[in-house]
Structure 1
Amino acid sequence: MTRSAPSEARIGFFAGMGAYLIWGVLPFYLRLLQGVPAADVLAHRILWSVLVVVVLIFALKGWERVRAAVRQPRLLLLLLASAVCIAINWLVYTWAILAGHAIDTSLGYFINPLVSVLFGVVLLGERLSKPQWIAVALAALGVAVLTIERGALPLISLALALSFGTYGLIRKQAAVDAATGLFLETMMLAPVAALWIAATPQGFAGWPVPTMGILALGGIATAVPLLLFGVAARRLPLSTLGLMQYVAPTMVLLEAVLLFGEVLDPAQMTAFAFIWAGLAVYTLSLRRPVAQAEQPR
């Protein structure tokens, strides 16, 4: 029995929301790994993610789908590209959290929804109204203000926004289920991760037992939200998926300021103001057609 379009959209919404809520609390997990180099954390996340996804593939009896995907060269190239994008995203994010730049990561993920919207328009032919273009322009203005105030581009924020926006775009084009896609992505990254860990002084098991346990949990913390995101990416328009992403950066911003002791500087506050204004304009532009459709005729 085929699911209806509303049912598919509902599944996509809850999967996407689950992914963003998990990403919203990810800084708490990463801060438990203070003292572990970001590249080591990334390598362990990749290898433990492979184990988690292999278990899931067995549980779902999905090996036939994996074999079918491996026979599609174009799909493999897309997944290789998405794997590179998500690895860059993980590395930048992990380093930034461990180095005390959670506010910069939050800014990046506030920019990211409007980057996704722009990608949807330029590359996928999705259409925006004038208010929605204003929203994108406000976000760009926020980045420009921060760049001028600091005298340099906000590299952490832009790297996160562009890498994850590109990842979402590629996964939107990859005709593969979430578990199969993530399995192939992590398998492509696994050899590099294994070589990296083998070359470190600690090797595969040189960290204290509690640290190794936390590193192992990275497989779940990494795989589960990405699986949920993959489900959502196949069922929701890119613009809708992009808009949902403000949940995680809101949580991270509150954590950074209220719990981690980071301080919003004036340039960041100005940039946030423009980007929040853009998100507000965009949200209102999406609600208006719904409200009009509900009016009695």
Structure 2
Amino acid sequence: MKPLLQSWQLWALLSAAFAALTAIFAKVGVENVNSDFATFVRTVVILCVVGILLVATGQWQSPASVSGRTYLFLLFSGMATGASWLCYFRALQLGDAARVAPIDKLSVVLVAVFAVVFLGEKLSGPNWLGVAFIAAGAVLVAYKG
């Protein structure tokens, strides 16, 4: 049996839990500050925490050891993350966390579509049904009726 810390399922569940806490903490955090500034503060905190983690665990690597293609796609990913965070914090400032977060999680649906279209990944019928349920669930949770 695979060790628990090597399980992608564990890390995905932890990611979901921390993402939920992010929404709650961010909703309170953007109450009396510009959402873009709040995103900046969050980014600085992340940079410091990950930097400390890399050094403390001996995972730092020479920047020269990374290929140009890798840097390019990490740059694109960072730009997309930044845009996502800016939009997310603005949405939290304007709306209820319980409605903003489900719409944000439509990213799950978009990842499935983009993975099929751009990465050539395959999804089965039940997988697509799950994607449809996620989309429908996000819309229903976000609905203010």
TM class, shorter-length: 0.7 to 0.9
Note if contact 2:88-2:104 (Cα within 8 Å) is conserved in structure 1.
no
Aligned counterparts of 2:60 and 2:27: Cα–Cα separation in 1: 36
Aligned counterparts of 1:98 and 1:66: Cα–Cα separation in 2: 37
Note if contact 1:96-1:105 (Cα within 8 Å) is conserved in structure 2.
no
Tell me, yes or no, if structure 1 residue 120 matches structure 2 residue 120. Answer: no
Deviation, structure 1 residue 136:
4.8
| 1:158-182 deviation digits (Å, cap 9, x = unpaired) | xxxxxxxxxxxxxxxxxxxxxxxxx
1:26 — aligned with what? Answer: 22
Match of 2:124 among 123, 129, 151: 129
Aligned counterparts of 1:9 and 1:50: Cα–Cα separation in 2: 23
What is the aligned-residue RMSD (CA, Å)? 3.0
1:84 — aligned with what? Answer: 79
Aligned counterparts of 2:7 and 2:33: Cα–Cα separation in 1: 37
Distance 1:108 1:120, change over 3 A: same
Deviation, structure 1 residue 74:
0.9
Deviation, structure 1 residue 83:
0.3
Note if contact 1:118-1:136 (Cα within 8 Å) is conserved in structure 2.
no
Deviation, structure 1 residue 133:
3.9
How many residue pairs end up in the alignment?
Answer: 141
Distance 1:8 1:123, change over 3 A: farther
Secondary structure in structure 2 of the residue aligned to 1:47? helix
Give runs of ≥4 in structure 1 deviating > 6 Å. none
Note if contact 1:39-1:91 (Cα within 8 Å) is conserved in structure 2.
yes
1:155 — aligned with what? Answer: none
| 1:169-201 deviation digits (Å, cap 9, x = unpaired) | xxxxxxxxxxxxxxxxxxxxxxxxxxxxxxxxx
2:101 — aligned with what? Answer: 105
Distance 1:9 1:129, change over 3 A: farther
Gaps of 5+ in 1: 143-245, 257-262, 266-297
1:39 — aligned with what? Answer: 36
Note if contact 2:92-2:100 (Cα within 8 Å) is conserved in structure 1.
no
Tell me, yes or no, if structure 1 residue 48 matches structure 2 residue 70. Answer: no
1:60 — aligned with what? Answer: 57
Aligned counterparts of 1:79 and 1:11: Cα–Cα separation in 2: 24
2:89 — aligned with what? Answer: 94
Note if contact 1:38-1:98 (Cα within 8 Å) is conserved in structure 2.
yes
TM-score by length of 2: 0.78
Distance 1:9 1:130, change over 3 A: farther
Deviation, structure 1 residue 11:
2.3
Deviation, structure 1 residue 80:
0.5
TM-score by length of 1: 0.41
| 1:122-173 deviation digits (Å, cap 9, x = unpaired) | 2222222334445556777x5xxxxxxxxxxxxxxxxxxxxxxxxxxxxxxx
Match of 2:7 among 11, 16, 26: 11
Aligned counterparts of 1:12 and 1:54: Cα–Cα separation in 2: 23
1:237 — aligned with what? Answer: none
Instruction: State the percentage of identical aligned residues.
Output: 23
Opposite residue 50 of structure 1, the aligned amino acid is L
